[in-house]
Structure 1
Amino acid sequence: MIRTLTTAAILAMTGQAGLAACADHEGMCETASGGYHIELPNAENPPLLVFLHGYGGSAKGVLKNRNMVEPLLARGYAVMAPEGSDRNGRKSWNFFPGWEGRDEAAFLTEVVQDASDRFGVDADRVVLGGFSAGAFMVYYLACASPDTFSAYVPVSGGFWRPQPQSCEGPVRMFHTHGWTDNVVPLEGRILGGGRFHQGDIFAGLEIWRVANECVDTKPSGFSVTGQFMRRYWSGCSDGSMLELALFPGGHTVPKGWADMMVDWYEGLPGG
């Protein structure tokens, strides 16, 4: 397959940081249910990070985070930013069970297949990540159908109350959260005048441990990577992995996350 210049190469030559495009073509990649932007590394059949924007965000906005995108491209990963659906006049994700709207699991499967057909990304090595409302979507999709993607890497988001009674498993998940996050606090918070309630992140981790059939609640080990304090649960059901990384900041995708996440993913069996 003859490769044209990737968006990353175009950015390097033009200095237009954050330019969003359908690989090396202007505009969004369109599919039957929506669209996405994508940047490709200079590699054949690359693995793919699908990263979902937060409430009121956009696919273009995801690719403007060069601290996240550039390390991924440098390590041979394609980066896809799907566009959320309309919710109350702003772009977000139809994540909560029972809400009406786009079937997001079907949409995300559709855009990955489209990228595989168009650009040759490796459909067997696709990681689903997201920030804030995008991370809410990651949690609920992983809960209902963990085999849809090879791993899940939410940042600053979890379940809402009432939390699921149980989730399917096993799941391979790497959750990252800011210690001082006050938009999605670790303890959760009430929204919409009491109509909605973000769940407790640690209560969500308990649900994942049950789904992974972990025999104990205590972490298997701890580590530190730069600013990130990490704890993990392994030795659970075959094919599962669960890890939490906390950092000192607030509601953001922190610098250094991309490399840490790739190291984690590539350390998994089959990663």
Structure 2
Amino acid sequence: MIRQMLLGLGLMMTGSGAVAACGGGDDVCEIESGSYHIEVPDAEHPPLVVFLHGYGGNGAATMRNRSLVDGLLARGYAVMAPNGSQRIGSNRGLSWNFYPGWEGRDETEFLQNVVADAADRFGLDEDRVLLGGFSAGGFMVNYLACAAPETFSAYVPVSGGFWRPHPTECNGPIRMLHTHGWTDNVVPLEGRVLGGGRFVQGDIFAGLEIWRLANGCSDHKPSGFSREGEFMHRRWTCGKDSALEFVLFPGGHQVPKGWADLVVNWYEGLPGS
């Protein structure tokens, strides 16, 4: 009881868009299997965007992307940045255990646990949780959505899809907004070879075909196209409880400015959101 009162006091003292009780700056919220950073808006039961860092990054660095964090807070969304894990046999920084056959932390279980912990601490809406991520974090988003699509309300990867060999199929349906830079040379749209041929990044468009199949689309052709500033959209509307949208922007390997509003506008336009 005392712990909950202190957490509540910390939350009230933060004000709109500030750090709540733990998780801000270099401080973290800890659970048995890892840790996370979080900031919450001044709102009752806000939705949550969980954003996974890229290879070699960490949650604290994600929270320093103030365009992303402040943009989501301003729209009434809490922002969580979990910390990845050290992959077995590697000492090259934190990443995510997404590739089939790799040993290490069960990331689906870990992410479910950090969301449950944050919901308990800060009164978040567990029914409205979006999982996003950049680069390696974006790959993690795709693999988790493929295996366990019901885990989160929607998926919003940036610059990350699948590796070869592509999955033969994914469970579905899913609701996904994939954002990618036209000139991305780290995760090119066509994929690339890594580690002397040991690993090969997949083709983003091949991944979109996998998602169309998971969503039960009867045609490859997009249902619609649009453009907002530098964002070029193509979308597939294929059935109940599914949504698939692909957005290109002219930059490279980065989270583009305006991504927060892009995601919120898309998500809040979905039925039931």
- Cα distance in 2 for partners of 1:266, 1:53 equals 24
What does the per-residue CA deviation read over 1:47-104, in whole Å, with 9 as the maximum and x for residues that have no partner? 0000000000010010011111101001110000000000222100000111000000
Amino acid at match of 2:30: E
Look up the match of 2:147: 144
- Cα distance in 2 for partners of 1:192, 1:4 equals 49
Select the residue among 181, 199, 204 that pairs with 2:202: 199
Q: Map of 1:42-81 to 2, 5 A cutoff?
A: 42-81=42-81
TM-score normalized with structure 2 length: 0.92
Unaligned stretches of 5+ residues in structure 1:
12-19
Query: Post-superposition shift, 1:32?
Result: 1.1
- Cα distance in 2 for partners of 1:263, 1:10 equals 23
Q: Map of 1:115-154 to 2, 5 A cutoff?
A: 115-154=118-157
Contact 2:17/2:73 (8 A) holds in 1? no
Percent identical among aligned pairs is 68
Q: Map of 1:101-250 to 2, 5 A cutoff?
A: 101-234=104-237, 236-250=238-252
Query: Post-superposition shift, 1:6?
Result: 3.0
TM-score normalized with structure 1 length: 0.93
Query: Post-superposition shift, 1:26?
Result: 6.8
Query: Post-superposition shift, 1:25?
Result: 9.1
Look up the match of 2:3: none
Amino acid at match of 1:150: S
Query: Post-superposition shift, 1:23?
Result: 4.8
Contact 1:56/1:91 (8 A) holds in 2? yes
Aligned residues: CA RMSD: 1.7
Amino acid at match of 1:269: P
- Cα distance in 1 for partners of 2:14, 2:159 equals 30
Contact 2:159/2:180 (8 A) holds in 1? yes
Unaligned stretches of 5+ residues in structure 2:
1-7
Look up the match of 2:84: 84
Query: Post-superposition shift, 1:24?
Result: 6.5
